[in-house]
Structure 1
Amino acid sequence: MEPAPRVTLGVPLYNAERYLEDCLDALLAQDYPDFEIIISDNASTDRTWEICEAYAARDARIRLYRNPRNFGGHVNYARVVELARGELFKWVAYDDVCLPAYLRTCVAALDAAGPQAVLSYPRTVLIDEAGEVIGPYADRLDLRDRRPWRRVAGVARNINLCHAHFGVFRMSALRRTGMIRPFLSSDYTLIAEVARLGEIHEVDQPLFLRRMHGGSTRQAEGATAASALAWYGQAGRRVRAPRMRMLAETLRMLSTGSEPLGTRISSAAAFLATWWARRVRVRLGRLRRSVVRRIRASTAKGNA
């Protein structure tokens, strides 16, 4: 039996033909060679499977699996973890691009930090449909405090577009989580859970190109709650208070598990307090902007 690779790259797919070749070319160009690519196709109806077969014929590190029907994106994300053999793991979205030093740099960060670090990810650059640079994006999830509740509070304070969950995980930690769950913004819940388990390290290099396009279900311009629910295999369902659902699920997750009771209670309390403080700041900011606009409009009308 061949030895297991150090890193597994899990690529869950559904109708991904538009950007898939760019994605796979970038993975095969990584300058850290000790990896396998697990592709799980959710019964695509376009050329996705044909492209996958062509790439697998060229590189033995690619292993292909195909579901008999579309089980939903969250199921497929769990499937590639189930099939993985690596000590370290990274999810890969078909429409994003990892620059050649991505794996080497993130693996080195985990090795340097030791077992207290459970996730590393690089800085993000946003690109458009054509691959043109939009600009850098500050994830602000470099969470190295040794106290779990402080790391969890950092997630609640700063998470927005969630790119850290496309970083490199220690598999032993990832498999202790619920991973991607069947509700909107479940990636927030995952990162909070990971932060409770250990440190998250941001690599100070822009090695991740996140593509923003109308076909994305991950908060890109044009994406809707309905399209996101379709990604979960829940098309046609009504969206009711998605952020409240995320908050409730995150608190439930943080308050359970095998960690000491004090860690669970302090982590849940820190997330709740920080999240609501953030929501209050956002609403106050909107209120201030509204008041300023009204004052300026009134002043302009009086000077007319």
Structure 2
Amino acid sequence: MAGTPRVSLGVPLYNAERYLEGCLDALLAQDHSDFEIIISDNASTDRTWEICQRYAARDPRIRLYRNPRNFGGHVNYARVVELARGELFKWVAYDDVCLPSYVSTCVAALDAAGERVVLAYPRTVLIDEAGEVIGPYADGMHLRDHRPWRRVAGVAQHISLCHAHFGVFRLSALRRTGMIRPYLSSDYTLLAEVARLGEIHEVDQPLFQRRMHGASTWQGADSSAASALAWYGKQGARVRAPRLRMLVETLRMLSTGEPRLSTRLSSAAAFLATWWARRVRVLLGRWRRQLTQRVRTATSRGTF
């Protein structure tokens, strides 16, 4: 390829044959054409590599790399960032769909906002295995406050399925983070880190289709914490308090690094306070529903 592309699209893969062609077709159909597609295959054992080679032969914007063995998903996610040449960067999951104006709309949002915004992503629509629409999903990550601690608190308040990290980053900002780390929900930590670095902009258009299907590590029938750790290359590992691990690691990250001490401490405190307040509300809501159900059951039996 001659010249440097504006946007790098990183596609980390492992055994992705089922949805890969649809994913690549969607990327090649983007109306913003100044991009490269970086594919890093984690030693797939299905037809993934064959499909990649076929697409690369058709379009010179596709760059192929294949790991000698499966190093774990987090390593492969870091690999495509390492290989990126663009000013802007987007991770792409093989089973999701980016509508044709996804890249151009996010790039336009970053250009309009200036350097203070380090990540732009569109609204999300959930789809099923066959591509049928399940419904919209509210990510709630439009974090445009100029104060880092307020943005970090917004991450703790709203994060759940975590779609924003599939948006378009300023690559220089992304490379200042720890990216995806080798523990469960490390994408939460990443977004908290990004929010401390700069603003996050949600584009008010539903351009991202997140596929929910049985083969997914995170939504499938075998989506326990132990099986999810296999995605990180930790087969058979024991899982102890994954939520607490995420919280501790996020606080450790927020309290260290480049910003001045006041920014680090206020960001860590904001995440901790907001996260625990959210957990308390969830627990209270659960107990309230359980109590209501018990009262209804007792009333229906005439024992209350």
TM-score bin (small chain): over 0.9
Q: How many angstroms apart in 2 are the aligned matches of 1:165 and 1:258? A: 21
Deviation sequence 1:88-120 (CA, Å, 0-9, x none): 000000000000000000000000110000000
Residues 139 and 162, structure 1, Cα contact 8 Å, conserved in 2: yes
Aligned twin of 1:108: 108
> Could you say if the C-alpha distance between residues 220 and 143 of structure 1 is closer, same or farther in structure 2, counting changes exceeding 3 Å?
farther
Alignment of 1:244 onto 2:244: yes
**Contact kept in structure 1, 2:31 and 2:104, CA below 8 Å:** yes
Runs of 4+ in 1 over 6 A off after TM superposition: none
Q: Does 1:301 align with 2:301?
A: yes
Deviations 1:135-159 (A, max 9, x none): 0000000000000000000000000
Q: How far did 1:219 drift?
A: 3.9
Equivalences for residues 140-155 of structure 1 within 5 A? 140-155=140-155
Q: Partner letter of residue 36 of structure 1? A: E
Tell whether 2:15 aligns with 1:10. no
C-alpha distance in 1 between matches for 2:170 and 2:52? 26
Is the CA contact 1:123–1:206 (under 8 Å) kept in the aligned structure 2?
yes
1:222-266 Cα shifts (integer Å, max 9, x gaps): 522122111100010011100000000000000000101000000
Aligned-partner Cα distance in 1 for 2:2–2:119:
27
Show CA shifts across 1:5-34 (max 9, x none). 000000000000000000000000000000
Aligned mates of 1:236, 1:158 — CA distance in 2: 31
| Alpha-carbon contact 1:212-1:221 (below 8 Å) kept | no
**How does the TM-score come out when normalised to structure 2?**
0.98
Q: Distance in 1 between matches of 2:12 and 2:251?
A: 27
Q: Unpaired runs of 5+ in structure 1?
A: none
Deviations 1:69-90 (A, max 9, x none): 0000000000000000000000
Query: Which residue in the other structure is 1:269 paired with?
Result: 269
Displacement of 1:214 in angstroms is 1.1
Distance in 2 between the 1:27 and 1:261 partners? 41
The alignment partner of 2:243 has SS state of helix
Matched, 1:254 2:254: yes
Distance in 2 of aligned mates of 1:56 and 1:179: 27
Unaligned runs of 5+ in 2: none
Tell me the alpha carbon deviations over residues 161-218 of structure 1, each in whole angstroms, 9 at most, x when there is no partner: 0000000000010000000000000000000000000000000000000000111113
Q: Distance in 2 between matches of 1:132 and 1:286?
A: 31
Asked whether the equivalents of residues 213 and 219 of structure 2 are also in contact (C-alpha less than 8 Å), the reply is no
Residue identity in the other structure for 2:11: V
Cα separation, 1, equivalents of 2:2 and 2:100: 25
The 2-side partners of 1:93 and 1:218 are apart by: 13
Alpha-carbon shift at residue 129 of structure 1 (Å) = 0.6
Assess if the C-alpha contact under 8 Å between 1:141 and 1:200 holds in 2: yes
How many correspondences in the alignment? 304
Query: C-alpha offsets along residues 52-74 of structure 1, whole Å, 9 cap, x if unaligned?
Result: 00000000000000000000000
The CA deviation at 1:3 is: 1.4
- Does the 8 Å contact 1:125/1:136 carry over to 2? yes
Aligned to 1:278: 278
Alpha-carbon deviation of 1:303?
Answer: 7.9
Tell me if 1:42 matches 2:36.
no
Q: Distance in 1 between matches of 2:219 and 2:257?
A: 30
Q: Hey, what's the Cα distance between the residues in 1 that align with 2:282 and 2:47?
A: 43
2:201 aligns with 201
